[in-house]
């Protein structure tokens, strides 16, 4: 049969074919809206013709291709026989898979769910323990937050702040908790208050020229500085540099104001030496304070920062500032310059006493003395 046996019947084998829609279209095609009754005989008769036509084509198709159909039937029988021979193996495979599913896969799936729940419980437990430790540390901060603090208490408070920061860094998830987020600004304020207090105590203990001999002042200085270093190493370094520069600039200003009067110059030099002695005493105390998170002393710390000793930087600053003024005065000449030449020996003696007052070893004293006497070399040069 050369023609397509499905000619005129293609719509019936398409995936989109719908019986209800076809029946509805058939009724509409065989009836008129003007008819008072629905004609069911005509569509039924039409379907009968189609059924007869399909059966006719089936008979014709079978007659023309009977050899091929017999071959297909034989193949189906052979395939059925092959499948029957595989059935025991397939049944065994099904039983094995069922056993695998029941004994391994399903328990594994249940274990995975339990493990997931357990992991979430552990995570929650760790978070709650972290919050508990956070609250414990904040409670300690509240207990110690008395700003009339002894040095030991200040250092303990600094350690609590450091532990709190380390705890937050080790558990970033803590900041997801509202109780932690709400308290962070409070702890930050308390931390800054402690830093400000330590800074203030360091400045107060080094402001008077008592050369840090009073044990109470020494304890206040070392306690405040140790605490400040533990809280903010950079702030501690900046504070020590500020103290040294403040005293050096003040000493230089005393010498600059007195440089035109040799008598006044010799009168202010003891204070210049006393300020140097204060810096030397600070440097000595730094050798007894260990840097936080390090085995080095704060003296070594500051030498690395300044690339010199604190006393060396003090004398360099004083020599540089007063040397400029002395040079300008001698360059202007006149009676003031002449008076300075006449009292050079007294000026030199006053400088020597001031440098020796700082009680450094002989080599350092000689180096600082040479540094301070260099500006005097210009006194003898006449303009």
Q: Where are the domains of the chain?
A: 10-64, 100-205+215-228, 232-383
Mean pLDDT, consecutive 10-residue stretches, the chain (383 aa), reads 64 80 80 77 81 82 79 78 77 80 81 84 83 81 62 75 83 83 85 86 81 80 87 88 93 87 87 90 87 78 83 90 82 77 83 81 80 78 52
- Closest CA relative to residue 225, chosen from 202, 194, 207: 202
pTM above 0.85, yes or no: no
- Which residues fall within 8 angstroms of residue 12, CB to CB, at 6 or more apart? none
Q: What local confidence, expressed as pLDDT, does residue 48 receive?
A: 83
Q: What local confidence, expressed as pLDDT, does residue 1 receive?
A: 47
Distances (CA, A) of 138 to 142, 165, 169, 223, 279: 6, 11, 15, 22, 38
CA 188 and chain centroid, separation = 16
Tokens of 155: 């250092």
Q: What local confidence, expressed as pLDDT, does residue 315 receive?
A: 92
Q: What local confidence, expressed as pLDDT, does residue 175 receive?
A: 83
- Closest CA relative to residue 6, chosen from 53, 47, 48: 53
Q: What local confidence, expressed as pLDDT, does residue 253 receive?
A: 92
């Amino acid at each position: 049969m050369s023609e397509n046996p499905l000619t005129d019947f293609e719509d019936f084998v398409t995936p989109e074919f719908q019986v209800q829609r076809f029946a509805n279209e058939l009724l509409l095609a065989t009836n008129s809206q003007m008819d008072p009754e629905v004609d069911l005989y005509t569509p039924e008769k039409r379907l009968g013709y189609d059924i007869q036509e399909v059966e006719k084509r089936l008979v014709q198709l079978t007659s023309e291709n009977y050899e091929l159909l017999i071959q297909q039937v034989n193949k189906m029988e052979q395939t059925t026989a092959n499948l029957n021979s595989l059935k025991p193996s397939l049944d065994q495979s099904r039983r094995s898979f069922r056993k695998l599913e029941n004994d391994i896969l399903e328990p594994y799936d249940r274990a995975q769910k339990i493990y997931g729940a357990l992991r979430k419980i552990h995570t929650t437990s760790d978070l709650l323990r972290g919050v508990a430790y956070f609250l414990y540390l904040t409670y300690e901060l509240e207990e110690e937050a008395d700003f009339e603090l002894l040095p030991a208490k200040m250092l303990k408070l600094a350690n609590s702040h450091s532990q709190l920061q380390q705890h937050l860094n080790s558990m970033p998830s803590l900041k997801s908790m509202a109780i932690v987020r709400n308290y962070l600004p409070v702890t930050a304020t308390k931390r800054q208050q402690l830093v400000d207090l330590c800074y203030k105590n360091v400045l107060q203990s080094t402001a008077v020229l008592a050369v840090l001999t009073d044990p109470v002042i020494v304890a206040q200085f070392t306690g405040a500085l140790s605490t400040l270093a533990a809280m903010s190493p950079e702030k501690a370094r900046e504070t020590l540099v500020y103290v040294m520069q403040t005293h050096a600039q003040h000493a230089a200003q005393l010498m600059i104001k007195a440089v035109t009067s040799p008598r006044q110059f010799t009168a202010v030099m003891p204070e210049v030496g006393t300020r140097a002695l204060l810096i030397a005493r600070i440097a000595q105390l730094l050798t007894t304070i260990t840097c936080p998170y390090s085995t080095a002393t704060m003296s070594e710390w500051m030498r690395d920062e300044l690339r010199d000793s604190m006393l060396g930087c003090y004398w360099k600053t004083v020599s540089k500032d007063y040397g400029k003024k002395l040079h300008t005065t001698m360059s202007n000449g006149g009676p003031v310059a002449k008076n300075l030449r006449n009292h050079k020996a007294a000026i030199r003696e006053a400088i020597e006493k001031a440098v020796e007052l700082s009680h450094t070893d002989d080599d350092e004293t000689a180096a600082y003395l040479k540094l301070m006497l260099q500006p005097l070399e210009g006194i003898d040069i006449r303009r």
